[in-house]
Amino acid sequence: MNAFSQSNLGTDIMCEEDLDPHLQLSGGVRNVGWALAWRILTDRGSLFYETNYGLGLVRFCHDEVTRHTLSIVKSGIQFESRKDDRILSTKASVRWNTETRHLETTVVCESAVSPFRLVVDVSKASQAVRIL
């Protein structure tokens, strides 16, 4: 039996685009969503203390994006989400917009408490994250 509840999914300092200057806290499903967002945005190997952390979505925007690339991204997101024991299941979809050169991922997760949806849109120059 999973012992998680809304109040113990973890609490962390809010860090959406950068560390919150007022050190406001984020908890519950939102905290899990941002943990996954940072996990898939961070380049693998860039954290000296956790070399097996991250996917690095932006790097996929630098080369030609093929169906194979999209398959790698999708399986990478699902692989990274399984590393967080607060996430019970994940279904990812990935879409490449050739005109805008944006990679949009939608991840539907079932957390230990409730479902949530994470949308991450990246390009070479920008990234946007929404947790719904």
Return d(Cα 129, Cα 9) in angstroms, integer.
20
Q: What are the residue boundaries of the structural domains of the chain, listed by start?
A: 6-131
pLDDT at position 55 is 96
Q: Output phi, psi for 102, to 5 deg.
A: -110, 140
Q: What angle do CA 116, 43, 25 make, to 5 degrees?
A: 45
- Residue 1 pLDDT: 41
Tens of each residue's pLDDT in the chain, 132 residues: 455 554 577 777 777 777 768 888 887 888 899 999 999 999 999 999 999 999 999 999 988 899 999 999 999 999 999 999 999 999 999 999 999 999 999 999 998 888 999 999 999 889 999 998
pLDDT at 23: 81
| Residues facing 92 on adjacent strands | 107
Determine the Cα–Cα distance for residues 123 and 132; give it in Å rounded to an integer: 21
Other CB atoms within 10 Å distance of the CB of residue 87: 21
Select 6-131's CATH number: 3.40.1440.10, 3.40.50.2300, 3.10.450.40, 3.40.50.1820: 3.10.450.40
Q: For residues 118 and 107, is the Cβ–Cβ distance under 8 A?
A: yes
| pLDDT per residue as tens digits for the range 20-46 | 688 888 878 888 999 999 999 999 999
